[in-house]
Amino acid sequence: MVSAAWLPPEALRAIGSRRAVVRGEGPPVETVVREIAAAGGHVTFNETPTAPADFYLDSGYGSPEGFTLQRSDGVTYVRAGDGNGLLYGFFEVVRRGEAAFGADFGPEEHRPVMRRRMLDHWDNVAVHPVMGQVERGYSGGSIFWDNGKLRDDLDRVSAYARLLAATGINAVAINNVNVHAAEARLLTDRLDDVATIADRFRPYGIRTHLSVSFASPVTLGGLPTADPVDPAVVSWWERAVAAVYDRIPDFGGFVVKADSEGQPGPFAYGRDHADGANLLADALAPHGGVVHWRAFVYNHRQDWRDRSTDRARAAFDHFAPLDGRFRDNAVVQVKYGPIDFQPREPVSPVILAMPNTRLAVEFQVTQEYTGQQKHACYLAPQWSELLNWNGVADIAATGDGVVAVSNVGDDPQWTGHPLAQANLYAFGRLAWNPALDPAAILDEWADLTFGPGLREPLHDILDDSWRTYESYTAPLGVGFMVQPGHHYGPSVDGYEYTPWGTYHFADRDGVGVDRTVATGTGFTAQYPQPWCDVYESVATCPDELLLFFHHVPYTHVLHSGATVVQHIYDSHFAGAEAAERMRTRWHDVTLPDAALHAKVSDLLDEQVRSAREWRDQINTYFYRKSGVPDAHGRRIY
Amino acid sequence: MVSAAWLPPEALRAIGSRRAVVRGEGPPVETVVREIAAAGGHVTFNETPTAPADFYLDSGYGSPEGFTLQRSDGVTYVRAGDGNGLLYGFFEVVRRGEAAFGADFGPEEHRPVMRRRMLDHWDNVAVHPVMGQVERGYSGGSIFWDNGKLRDDLDRVSAYARLLAATGINAVAINNVNVHAAEARLLTDRLDDVATIADRFRPYGIRTHLSVSFASPVTLGGLPTADPVDPAVVSWWERAVAAVYDRIPDFGGFVVKADSEGQPGPFAYGRDHADGANLLADALAPHGGVVHWRAFVYNHRQDWRDRSTDRARAAFDHFAPLDGRFRDNAVVQVKYGPIDFQPREPVSPVILAMPNTRLAVEFQVTQEYTGQQKHACYLAPQWSELLNWNGVADIAATGDGVVAVSNVGDDPQWTGHPLAQANLYAFGRLAWNPALDPAAILDEWADLTFGPGLREPLHDILDDSWRTYESYTAPLGVGFMVQPGHHYGPSVDGYEYTPWGTYHFADRDGVGVDRTVATGTGFTAQYPQPWCDVYESVATCPDELLLFFHHVPYTHVLHSGATVVQHIYDSHFAGAEAAERMRTRWHDVTLPDAALHAKVSDLLDEQVRSAREWRDQINTYFYRKSGVPDAHGRRIY
């Protein structure tokens, strides 16, 4: 029994009692017709209605994917630019429910801010010996792949596509950016698998994308090289792409992780990432495809003894000099922060440094570093904060898109933690419009999923859950301090002496990474004014990022008035207490589905346990190092 | 091509040119006959020789497994107590080579000090998802098992048995003490597999033992309980054991890990370990079998916050009160130290606390915590030191046996690191006679394995290698500081906040575990006088165990005159330098087998790299914590 998530039958009740008229062409329009009929509504499709209708949905008006919503004289109108616009307009009506059929309103114009709103699946085709079926997946197996093969039953993919369409997602990459042997072959002799999945996404206005290996001309094509300027390589990619579009005319394009964590890339041939990305972009361009080229390139075999190398600098150092050299259909996909999806990072300076490049900001809906769907952690406030941050907002407003790693698997609740559905929903909504208020998105999700009455407890539990998670984990933006490998739970020194470039440099006197120009790695210089100055100085650096940019004594006084070490103690006691309050609040909630309630209760028990473990390990670690007792005399082990 | 190890044809050259007369019965005697013939010698077996012989081997004189060796009037005599004694006498002659056929000597009486000289294989039948085919194995796959099945070709087992017989080993347990589902069935429906292996060991005087699950009556027998006092359980074991002896009349017995790290045991039924061990001992007694019952029982889900629980205390607390309650054929198998096979631990107080119990001391030939056969680390000095330690020597002299976890796999060199063969050889020799000098054993091994000429470089490389390993890893007996899980390489805090009970408690002021009666966990009270007093006081506690027993300031001055922190720096710089010297010394060695030389060179490169990594991580960790600079100004990162 798979959860209906935010589209249970109840959510479409207002539609079900109406007479609708639909006009338009193409699979998404047909989907709207089917949805209305399935909800019990009466629908006239591309014919003259025999009776007056409550609800008119027309396509062919205005901009692609956009729609105008209006109610006048007791009739509700969706006038959409195309089939996708019609679908999004329909789901906007679903969100409003009876309100869409009450008092007159509008006309309201709606169109997506981001042209591509994408989810990347880190799903492996073959089960990886370490990472399993889904890399960084916390929701069971893959909805696409099962132990090397395409799943027999893909109804879950259709149901997933429907959920995504209701949020505005229009692109999905169906395999892991780490492309192993079995996955590589999706591009060629396993193209049928891709086409079968694309058939499931098409009715919901979603284009299918593929992660490919830069080495494909060698590993699949038998060429002696994958050098991007080699004519045989260029021609191999042209033929491969043509074959893909022959089979899947609306194929979306490629995602590439190159020269990163062991994946092949252009560096092997003395070429740069613009050479690499443009090779694929040129092959895709005649067919309308796009390549998402990830900027996550750094030295993952760093020597911890080497204090001059700074992983935070790497993406900028590699990519900023290439600004202007990427094709129009090459999108540089940049993680939101300079390191790796931490609960708190500054915005990546790459996003601010490439005005002549199409960029997409990358988030994780999957909670690799934010509780792995064992912790309730509503991430929309983080994404909203980043997407609306000075400078990023401008990029986002004109940007090519936003991408996130999906948190979905074959779990009955889709996302492991039932409350993690809110993150998937919110990501789609913020991708559509980054100006939306995370609290308002939560209202939408709560009403659709549970019906009225659950807004208040869900706000109490989720609104501050990201900041709560931040408060009981690594302090003041320093990041990591997670268990190596799986990344769940605390290990303060877990990455301190590793090759991964993620250090905190805590000693008996202080903690933090000096990334200043004056005395550190010079990373602050990658930011434009005023941010380079703001981050360069401890006097102006925001508290929550202090240890990301500076190594300071434990006695350093924050803007908040607390010393660094007292802040560590205070935030960790407060964070663990907040987790306890989340649990208590949930206990007061009544749900018709007792098993669902119990599942969330169990997860909150684990969150409370884990938050206490974080609290105690972090506090003990810094007490042992600093020797400074807690000002309030609380228990530090 | 499998290494001949210490029995290459050259090692038997002196035999091959002689005329021998052998008299006796049984498989080991027949093995001697085959050995002489294979070496090219002329042998008369249980018949009157037609010509005078150089070499007489008779059985039926003296104590079991013993032999008298003599050369008089130009004839060499082995007069043995039984077939095993004849085999051991034969291999003693092999060790001596031409010297056994030179000037007259003797009669010398030889007999094993230990009655059972045993190797335990932690080989899994089915590949374990985490531990693989061999738990803590660093020499490839298992020589017995391959992916769930008995190997088709067991010639490696025969070759292994021959090597072991030459050292005096007379018992082998063929499966992991962690008994999973497939392994459990060896006791019943997979008994044929055991019998097939026993057929391979029998000619070499080695009895086959089996690790069994205490829950077998439930999991294999379908009984509702495994309670050791339940008559149905008693009878199930009686029948199971009778079936084993029916099939394998010289079966050795069982090894049991009970109530330990998740393995089932008598605690579940409110019984103690004497109840559990005696259940199996009683079933085995009528057939002459023995149960080895491991004393490795502790709480592996300890809370690191709990400073009162002390894993070091656990074995004594569980077992010492049971002294006198174990059957004569129940052997309590005790790890040499109170924790877990660390490079330096005090002797386990359990060994000194059970005068009315048959005990076996347990070592690891497999180098779980001593470099995993990537580091050359000759362990005979450690074993010798422990076996000859005050009090233990008495036990050892009258003891039931000594056991070690084997380091052998299907690797062409048997032991991964070619020099790790020395540990396997030395273990057997020390089990035969703990008074043997580790340096003399190394001579034997070097001569047999490489012929003359390699003694000197091998002594230079191996004699101090255990102390070198100790010097660049965890300091002053504090132990662990290894990477969690696989246990290779440094992670100072890797186990500090885990449930495993292996902590160092380093803070900015000092380091070590207070196990005193006065202020600590009281562990020192488990030792008899004078040791409880010696360990209780920092004034008398030996330097090398200081941090095992005491938490002291970094400025504490050792008996050596150095402060604790300066000792940490000094020993780690010295240890890494010693590893470099080992490598340099090996480069001067000439071997006919260039591939073998290169393999050892590569491993020594890794040892040097790893020793530097240990040095730098440990030094940096303690410099960051203590703030004390190195007195000699060396580079600490």
Residue B256, pLDDT above cutoff 70: yes
Q: What is the pLDDT of residue B400?
A: 77
CATH says A470-626 is which class? alpha beta
Residues of B in contact with A509 (CB under 8 A): 627
B340 is catalytic: yes
Q: Does the annotation mark A385 as catalytic?
A: no
C-beta atoms of B493 and A497 within 8 A = no
Tokens of A500: 């991964």
B304, A497: Cβ pair inside 8 Å?
Answer: no
Instruction: Measure in Å the smallest separation between the Cα of B570 and chain A Cα atoms.
Output: 19
Q: Quote the CA–CA distance of A381 and A399 in Å, as a whole number.
A: 20
Taking one residue from A and the other from B, the number of pairs with CB-CB distance under 8 angstroms is 55
Range list of β-strands (E), B94-192: 105-110, 116-120, 123-128, 132-134, 145-146, 149-150, 171-173
Partnered with residue B110 across adjacent β-strands are: B67
Q: What is the pLDDT of residues B398-452, one digit of tens each?
A: 667 899 999 999 999 999 999 999 999 999 999 999 999 999 999 999 999 999 8
Tokens of A33: 């017709």
For residue A506, the chain B residues in CB contact (below 8 A) are 624
CB atoms B493 and A491 under 8 Å = yes
- pLDDT category at B61 given cuts 50, 70, 90 is confident
Q: What is the CATH number of domain B9-110?
A: 3.30.379.10
pLDDT cut 90: percent of chain B above it: 97
Q: Cα distance from B519 to chain A (closest Cα, Å)?
A: 17
Among A130, A308, A497, most B C-beta atoms within 10 A, so best to mutate, is: A497
Assigned token pair, A557: 């006084």
Asked if B77 and B100 touch (Cβ cutoff 8 Å), the reply is: no
Calpha distance A384→A113 (Å, rounded) = 14
Average pLDDT over residues B507-529: 97
Fold designation for B116-451: TIM Barrel (3.20.20)
Among chain A, residues having any CB pair with chain B shorter than 8 Å are 304-305, 307, 490-493, 497, 506-509, 616-617, 620-621, 623-627, 637
pLDDT in tens, A80-101: 999 999 999 999 999 999 999 9
What mean pLDDT value characterizes chain A?
A: 96
Among B493, B507, B626, select the one facing A493 at the smallest CB separation: B493
CA count, 13 A, side-chain hemisphere, B123: 29
CB contact under 8 A, A497 and B624: no
Q: Which of B25, B104, B108, B261 is catalytic?
A: B261
* Closest Cβ opposite residue B497 in set A307, A507, A617: A617
CB contact under 8 A, B627 and A490: no
What is the distance, to the nearest Å, from the Cα of residue A374 to the centroid of all Cα atoms in its chain? 17
B591 DSSP 8-state letter: -
Task: Say which DSSP state B630 is in.
Answer: P
HSE-up of residue A61 (Cα within 13 Å, Cβ side): 15
Peptide bond into A107 cis (omega under 30): yes
Task: Indicate which of A492, A508, A509, A511 best probes the interface with B, i.e. most B CBs within 10 Å of its own CB.
Answer: A508
B362 strand-pairing partners: B335, B403
∠ CA(B302), CA(B305), CA(B309), 5° rounding?
50
Closest chain B residue to the Cα of A305, Cα to Cα:
B637
Distance between first and last Cα of chain B: 45
Give the active site residue among A368, A447, A470, A514.
Answer: A368
Alpha helices in B166-300, H assignment, sequence order: 181-184, 191-201, 216-219, 231-247, 273-284
pLDDT digits (tens, 9 = 90+) for B167-214: 999 999 999 999 999 999 999 999 999 999 999 999 999 999 999 999
Using the Cα atoms of residue B167, residue B171, residue B172 and residue B177 in order, give the sign of their dihedral.
negative
Which residues on chain B are in Cβ contact (under 8 Å) with A305?
Answer: 616, 620, 637
Distance from CA of B552 to the nearest CA of A (A): 14
Identify which of A307, A491, A627 has the shortest CB distance to residue B508.
A627
Q: Is B613 a catalytic residue?
A: no
One fold for both A9-110 and A116-436? no
- The answer to whether A445 and A5 are in contact (CB under 8 A) is no
Residue B232 has pLDDT above 70, yes or no: yes
Residues of chain A contacting residue B634, judged by C-beta atoms under 8 Å apart: none
Query: What are the b/e assignments for B322-337, b being 16+ CB within 10 Å?
Result: bbebbbebbbbbbbbb
Residue of A nearest to B490 (CA): A497
Angle at CA B507, nearest 5°, toward A570 and A626? 40
Say whether pLDDT at B610 is over 70: yes
**What six digits make up the tokens of B526?**
């488990």
Q: Report the residue from B305, B508, B621 with minimal CB separation from A637.
A: B305
- Chunked into runs of 10 residues, chain A (637 residues) has average pLDDT values of 95 95 98 97 94 94 95 97 98 97 96 95 96 97 97 98 98 97 97 98 98 98 97 98 98 97 95 98 98 95 94 97 97 97 97 93 98 98 93 67 96 98 98 96 98 95 98 98 96 97 97 98 97 98 98 98 98 98 96 96 98 98 98 97
Q: Name the catalytic one among A104, A246, A261, A593.
A: A261
What are the tokens at B567? Answer: 């000792």
CA angle, residues A108, A111, A114, in degrees to nearest 5: 150
Residue of A nearest to B505 (CA): A624
Q: What are phi and psi of A50, to 5 degrees?
A: -90, -15
Yes or no, beta carbons of B507 and A624 under 8 Å apart: yes
Decide if A509 and B627 are in contact by the 8 Å CB cutoff: yes
Mutate to test the interface with A, among B130, B483, B492, B493 (most CBs of A within 10 A): B493
Domain edges within chain A: 9-110, 116-436, 470-626
- CB burial class (10 A; 0-12, 13-18, 19+) of residue A11? buried
- The answer as to CATH 3.40.640.10 being correct for domain A116-436 is no
Question: CA of A635: which chain B residue's CA is closest?
Answer: B305
Burial A517-551 (b: 16+ CB within 10 A, else e): eeebbbbbbbbeeebbebbbebeebbebbbbbbbb
Torsion of Cα atoms, B172 then B176 then B180 then B183, to 10°: -20
Q: What is the pLDDT of residue A390?
A: 78
Environment class of residue A308 by beta-carbon count within 10 Å: exposed (0-12), middle (13-18) or buried (19+)?
A: exposed
Cross-chain residue pair A508–B637, CB shorter than 8 Å: no
User: What's the gap in Å between the CA of B617 and the closest CA on chain A?
Assistant: 7
Q: Please count the CA atoms within 13 angstroms of the CA of B631 that sit on its side-chain side.
A: 11
Residues of chain B contacting A, Cβ within 8 Å: 304-305, 307, 490-494, 497, 506-509, 616-617, 620-621, 623-627, 637
Of B490, B508, B617, the CB nearest to A508: B508
* CB-CB under 8 Å, A490 with B497: yes
Using CB atoms, pick whichever of B491, B620, B625 lies closest to residue A625. B625
Q: Is A438 left (phi over 0), alpha (psi -120 to 50) or beta?
A: alpha
Q: Per the CB < 8 Å rule, is A304 touching B492?
A: no
Q: Where are the beta strands (DSSP E) in A380-519?
A: 401-405, 510-511
Catalytic residue, chosen from A340, A345, A470, A570, is A340
Q: How far apart are CA A571 and CA A476, in angstroms?
A: 10
B305–A624 C-beta distance less than 8 A: no
Beta strands B552-553 and B510-511, pairing class: antiparallel
| Closest alpha carbon within chain B to A508 | B625
Q: Which among B491, B616, B627 has CB closest to A508?
A: B627
CB contact under 8 A, B491 and A508: no
Put simply, the answer to whether A507 touches B617 (Cβ < 8 Å) is no
Q: Decide if A507 and B624 are in contact by the 8 Å CB cutoff.
A: yes
Which residues of chain A neighbour B624 with C-beta distances below 8 Å? 506-508, 625
The CATH number, out of the four listed (3.30.70.2740, 3.90.1330.10, 3.40.50.1010, 3.30.1130.10), of the domain defined by the range B470-513+551-626: 3.90.1330.10
CA atoms B425, B427, B433, B439: torsion sign? positive
